Chains A and B, each alone.
Chain A
Amino acid sequence: MYVATKGGERAIDAAHQWLAEERRGDPAIPELSVDQIREQMTLAVNRVMAEGSLYDPDLAGLAIKQARGDLIEAVFLLRAYRTTLPRFGASEPVDTGEMRITRRISATFKDAPGGQILGPTFDYTHRLLDFKLMAEGETPTAQQKPSDPVDAPHILSLLDRDGLMEPLEQTDATPADLTREPMSMPADRPLRLQALARGDEGFVLSMAYSTQRGYGRTHAFVGELRIGTCDVEMFVPELGFAIEIGEIELTECETVNQFTGSKTQPPQFTRGYGLVMGQSERKAISVSLVDRALRWDELGEDNVGAPAQDTEFVLYHCDNIQATGFLEHIKLPHYVDFQSELELIRKIRRAAETPMQEAAE
């Protein structure tokens, strides 16, 4: 006999309890604290903040803990929380030229004012599992030496001075905010960069990679990659001036690409740009390549039909919260629609079988 599927509510409650138990794991093992995640899973925290569009390492750590380490789920938790926060203003533009640098490299010049600073990077590590880390209690320390605050201008600005770089478009227009207004096409560059900055790291990486392999060639040099902290200032009308309200860590990448120019204009290098919250250089480089690929139209290049040249394709599919939601929703019940498909296919098959039977007789 048919038993109606009552009890959805009890099933949900039970599933939540089981989930909570699984999240904790073996109770004999000490529980992870949010502080531990924030301090020791920093790059995961950074990714969750960047894609969650919310700079708060504590909340990102909490989200990672709650999500059992599923970073997209953690991003989702942060995004949903972000919805509930009141918006009381916007900061002044952050000056990345004034960044307190922890890492700064250029692939286009051997040296530049301000120097190359390798910083805490995996780049030249040998990827050998370090079994010593399985033992606890180790507190590594790095050599230190006092340094003078360095003046490190953007390296591309040095090329700019010689007229070799395409000039940056200067505008006082307030950029659109894709978290407050629906995305509209055609999307201008600020909107594209916003979408890419919170886009899925894997998706943006693959898009960038595809341009390197010939699907819309960008041929990028990393003019400069810098990581460090920047002050965030906000203009307070009651005071009449801007005050510092905090600092955030940023990763910025500027790429140099091949030329634009014409009969009347001498050739100039073109730019790709990526700015991401936290330390996330894979993402920042990827964003700058995709940014450059999406600029084909304004730079007078051919659209070769590459995915990374297609603004609608890139922007409508880079958001992992939208993507994972829509992808996973197909596990929700669809039996009403499936039933109408069943009726349809039975009807079409009946119609197809009748003439076949008649022909056989």
Chain B
Amino acid sequence: MTDQAYNFAYLDEATKRMIRRALLKGLAIPGYQVPFASREMPMPYGWGTGGVQVTAACLTPEDTLKVIDQGADDTTNAVSIRKFFERTADVATTEATAEATVIQTRHRIPEVPLTEGQILVYQVPIPEPLRFLEPRESETRKMHALSEYGLMHVKLYEDIARHGAIATSYAYPVQVEGHYVMDPSPIPKFDNPKLGDNAAIQLFGAGREQRIYALPPYTRVVSLDFEDHPFEPTKADHSCDLCGAGDTYLDEVITDDQGSRMFVCSDTNYCVTRQAEAEAGAAQ
């Protein structure tokens, strides 16, 4: 049931238009951070207000929405955001990745390859990949304009000198179409290869920092690395203990106080689907 006191998908039409303009600009300049007049939403900054505003601006009544957090549909914040749109937009919701037209995510890209016509909306805490190297916004914008990314390469080099490996395992920086260095949001670097050449539209919303950026379908996205230290997506060296998948990102679950662990797919819908298929196969 839609809450009639609010406009469709909560935001008023003028605000949605403002956000759509920023989205179009972001799609036209892949990886460029477009400032937008982020609104105060009824959930706190840090809970996905950027993603929620982007989703609100994209949703139509015909859409089917999926919301995940940590890859799972039933984490509390994913539940809360899904309920928010059920209440304010009355759209259909789903847990099946392939059935969704809009997917809002925090920290993961689904395992099932996305298809043309789908939109993946990321929640972004710190959109600026250079922020921890240079805190000043006025400086980092100049660095992006000039493609001046030496500082980032020095940081990655210093990691290797100190630890023998690049010490970034999530929010691993990428370069988009040979120009802008972009923060892919805090997805594990395991997911980085899915950013490039993806059939879906990928939109990134950072509410508190008032930035939107985007990757149009089939964009060239390269994870930063060195020839002698190539980028390496990593995952736990196990298979899923529930569905047996050997190629998915796994959560490590502590099962007792004796050091026992089990590993399960972080993408719950993918895992459940595989389990159901295996059961159906066994029954036949």
Determine the distance from Cα of A6 to Cα of B268 in the docked complex, in whole angstroms.
Answer: 10
Evaluate whether A339 and B74 lie within 8 angstroms (CB atoms) in the complex, with A9-B79, A329-B44 already known.
no
Within 8 A of A (CB), among B1-45: 6, 10-12, 15, 35-42, 44-45
A333 contacts the other chain (CB 8 A): yes
B residues in contact with A322, CB < 8 Å: 45, 208
Among A186, A324, A334, the residue within 8 A (CB) of B44 is A324
Q: Specify the chain A residue showing the minimal Cβ separation from B170.
A: A337
Interchain CA distance A355-B126 in the complex, whole Å: 37
- Residues from 55 to 98 in A contacting B, C-beta threshold 8 Å: 76, 79-80, 82-84, 86
B269 to chain A, nearest CB (A): 12
- Check A182–B36 contact: CB distance below 8 A: yes
- Decide yes or no: A348 and B45 within 8 Å by CB, A186-B138, A337-B170 being known contacts: no
> Which A residues lie within 8 Å of B137 (CB)?
185, 312, 316
Tell which of B136, B187, B235, B264 touches A343, judged by Cβ atoms closer than 8 Å.
Answer: B235
Could you say which of A1, A9, A179, A328 contacts B74, with CB atoms under 8 Å apart? A9
Cross-chain contact A2 with B208 (CB below 8 angstroms): no
Is A344 at the interface (CB under 8 A from chain B)?
yes
Q: Are A8's CB and B37's CB within 8 A?
A: no
* CB of B278 within 8 Å of the partner chain: no
- State the main secondary structure of chain A at its contact with B: helix
Residues of B within 8 Å of A334, CB to CB, are: 70, 107, 186
Rounded to whole angstroms, the CA-CA distance of A347 and B106 in the bound complex is 25
For this complex, into which size category does the number of interface residues on chain A fall? Answer: 35 or more
Asked if A181 CB lies within 8 Å of chain B CBs, one says yes
A352 to B268, CA, bound (A): 35
Instruction: List A contacts of B234 (CB < 8 A).
Output: 340, 343-344, 347
A contact residues around B46 at 8 Å (CB):
325-330, 332
**Number of CB contacts from chain A to chain B under 8 A:** 155
CB pair B75–A181 under 8 Å, yes or no, is: no
Instruction: Indicate if A239 sits at the interface (CB-CB under 8 A).
Output: no
From A183, A312, A332, residue with most partner B Cβ within 10 Å: A332
Any chain A CB within 8 A of the CB of B101? no
- Say yes or no: is A336 at the interface (Cβ < 8 Å to chain B): yes
Which one, B72, B188, B264, B266, contacts A2 given CB within 8 A? B264
Number of interface residues of B (CB under 8 A): 68
**Interface 1/0s, chain A 308-351, versus B by CB < 8 A?**
00001000100001101111111011111101111110011001
Chain A residues with CB under 8 A of B15: 83
A77, closest chain B residue (CB) = B42
The reply to whether the CB of B259 lies closer than 8 angstroms to some CB of chain A is no
Mostly, the B contact residues are loop
B66 within 8 A of A: no
Q: Which residue of A lies closest to B271 (CB)?
A: A4
Does A168 belong to the interface (CB within 8 Å)?
no
Judge whether B6 and A84 touch: CB under 8 Å.
Answer: yes
Chain A residues closer than 8 Å to B35, beta-carbon distance: 182, 184
Report A-chain residues with C-beta under 8 Å of the C-beta of B266: 336, 339
* A80 adjacent to B42 (CB under 8 Å): yes
Q: Is A12 part of the contact surface with B, judged by Cβ < 8 Å?
A: yes
Query: A330 to chain B: which residues have CB within 8 Å?
Result: 46
Inside 8 A of A5's CB, which chain B residues have their CB? 72, 74-75
For residue A213, CB closer than 8 A to chain B, the reply is no
Chain A CB within 10 A, most for which of B77, B108, B169: B169
Q: Are A82 and B40 in contact (CB under 8 A)?
A: yes
User: How far is A5 from B69 in the complex, measured between Cα atoms in Å?
Assistant: 13
User: Is B150 part of the contact surface with A, judged by Cβ < 8 Å?
Assistant: no
Asked whether A11 lies within 8 Å of B76 as measured between CB atoms, the reply is: yes
Mask of A156-188 contacts with B, CB within 8 angstroms, 1/0:
000000000000000000000001111111100
Question: Cβ of B249 and Cβ of A329 under 8 Å apart?
Answer: no
Q: Are A329 and B12 in contact (CB under 8 A)?
A: no
CA distance A182 to B207 in the complex (A): 10
**Known interface pairs A337-B186, A339-B252. Does A352 touch B37 (Cβ–Cβ under 8 Å)?**
no
Q: Are A335 and B251 also in contact (CB < 8 A) when A9-B74, A322-B45 are?
A: yes
CB within 8 Å for A2 and B71 given contacts A332-B77, A336-B170: no
Known contacts: A9-B79, A344-B165. The answer to whether A336 contacts B125 by CB under 8 A is no
State whether A321 touches B40 (Cβ < 8 A). Answer: yes
B190 close to A2 (CB less than 8 A): no
Query: In the complex, which of the residues B79, B171, B186 contacts A8, with contact meaning CB atoms closer than 8 Å?
Result: B79
> A328 to B44, Cβ gap below 8 A?
yes
CB-defined contacts of B262 to chain A, threshold 8 Å: 2
Among B69, B189, B190, point to the contact of A333 (Cβ < 8 A): B69
Q: Using a CB-CB cutoff of 8 Å, which residues 33-75 of chain B contact chain A?
A: 35-42, 44-47, 49, 69-72, 74-75
Contacts of B77 in A (CB 8 A): 332-333
Residues of A within 8 A of B284 (CB): none
14 contacts between A and B (CB under 8 A): A9-B74, A184-B35, A186-B138, A324-B45, A325-B208, A333-B70, A336-B108, A336-B266, A339-B252, A340-B169, A341-B169, A348-B164, A351-B164, A351-B165
